Amino acid sequence: MAIPRISSYPLPSSRPENRTEWQINPSKAVLLVHDMQSYFVNFYDTTQAPMRSLIQQINSLIVAAKAAGVPVVYTAQPANQDPKDRALLTDFWGTGLTEQDTSILPALAPTADDKVYTKWRYSAFKRSTLLEDMQAQGRDQLIICGIYAHIGILSTALDAFMYDIKAFVVADAVADFSEAEHLHAMEYVSSRCGQVQLLDEVIAACTPQNTQQKLSLGSMQEAIAALLCIDVEEVDPEENLLYLGLDSIRVMTLIDQWRAQGIDITLAELAESTTLNEWYEILVGKAPLAMEPA
């Protein structure tokens, strides 16, 4: 049995009520990007919801996590698995991945500082050193995004609970076979083994309080440079940002950060402007009390 083609459905805009009142602590957390490989993503139409939005949401999480010093790790299944390694997975899902579809999506690709764990079973903890690595770093919180919610993500959250790791599943940064299965997985996590959060809540938790209320031209330069992996000096406030490689997905990542700082801005409001100075003027008009002098 292969994975079915997945129909479009909207990512949730709300989350179930949690039984726990855990708080994300960036110094204790790890962000897991779960199974965002071409093989799994290609069962969706990437131009439609939920995948089109999911890629952007996960990108926002990665940027926020790295800015807060939260390690980012990935899972990825290997290609051409030996039948003994794949074992019972074959009975449910067939022979698995081939060499051409194991890559993690380029928009979310790990950097040299990120660790990729080989994925052998539903849970990211199975036959990996994830638990030992977290324990060695003194980290006992796992923020989870990716696919699929009711299979690997749910299994990983359950295992985290068994290992006394607090799992935070980001409801609007995971996707599933269907909206019903997505929502069921979130209900199960929130009531049985972890905590469900929304992207804005996680970004806010990863944003230091002393920067949430203030934004400057310099901090905007730094955010763009971090997103594009370039030096701050390369972000000329008068240069066309498109020439730097700032596409719409990355712009939405910046917008999510600014919204978490209390600035209500939309992509449409920035679309007609092309320079950082122009964007700064727009944001000043949207939230003058949240800005520092340029």
Range of weakest confidence among 46-55, 146-155, 196-205, 273-282: 273-282
How many other CB atoms are found less than 10 A from the CB of residue 193?
20
- Give the DSSP letter of residue 272: T
CATH 3.30.420.40 fits 210-290, yes or no: no
Q: Which token pair is 186?
A: 């979130």
Q: What is the pLDDT of residue 209?
A: 56
Phi, psi (rounded to 5 degrees) for 38: -55, -40
At 197, is the secondary structure helix, strand, or coil? strand
CA–CA dist 119, 98 (Å, integer): 14
Higher pLDDT, 257 or 200: 200
* CB within 8 Å of 48: residues ≥ 6 apart: 8
Strand, helix or coil for residue 284:
helix
Residues 140, 183: Cα–Cα separation, whole Å: 25
Dihedral Cα 5, 44, 197, 17, nearest 10 deg = -30
Residue type, 200: D
Residue 50 has pLDDT above 50, yes or no: yes
Residues recognised as catalytic? 34-35, 119
pLDDT over 90 at 197, yes or no: yes
Mean pLDDT of 30-47: 96
Give the integer Cα–Cα distance in Å for 49 and 53: 6
To the nearest 10 degrees (0 to 180), the angle between helices 248-260 and 217-228 is 140
Could you give the dihedral angle defined by the CA atoms of residues 218, 220, 221 and 222, in that order, rounded to the nearest 10 degrees? 90
**Using one digit for the tens of pLDDT, what is the confidence trace for 249-267?**
888 888 887 877 778 788 8
User: For the segment 214-244, what is each residue's pLDDT rounded down to a tens digit?
Assistant: 678 888 888 888 888 788 888 999 999 888 8
Confidence of residue 27 (pLDDT cuts 50, 70, 90): very high
From 135, 123, 187, 129, select the one nearest 164 (Cα to Cα). 135
Q: Is CATH 3.40.190.10 correct for 26-206? A: no
* pTM of this structure: 0.77
Domain map of the chain by residue range? 26-206, 210-290
Residue 200 tokens read as 């804005």
Instruction: Quote the tokens at residue 294.
Output: 């340029």
Q: What pLDDT score does 256 carry?
A: 80
CA angle centred on 239, ends 233 and 244, rounded to 5°: 70
Up-side HSE of residue 195: CA atoms within 13 Å toward CB? 18
The 3-state DSSP class for residue 118 equals strand
pLDDT at residue 210 is higher than 50: no
The conformation of residue 79, written as its DSSP 8-state character, comes to S
Q: Residue 26: is its pLDDT beyond 50? A: yes
In this prediction, residue 216 carries a pLDDT of 84
Which residues fall within 8 angstroms of residue 55, CB to CB, at 6 or more apart? 46, 105, 107, 108, 249
Per-residue pLDDT, averaged over 172-196, amounts to: 98
The pLDDT value recorded for residue 214 is 64
Beta bridge partners of 196: 169
Q: Which helix (H) or strand (E) holds 101?
A: none
Give the C-alpha separation, 198 to 196, whole Å.
7
Per-residue b or e along 45-57, where b marks 16 or more CB atoms closer than 10 Å to that residue's CB? eeeeebbebbbbb
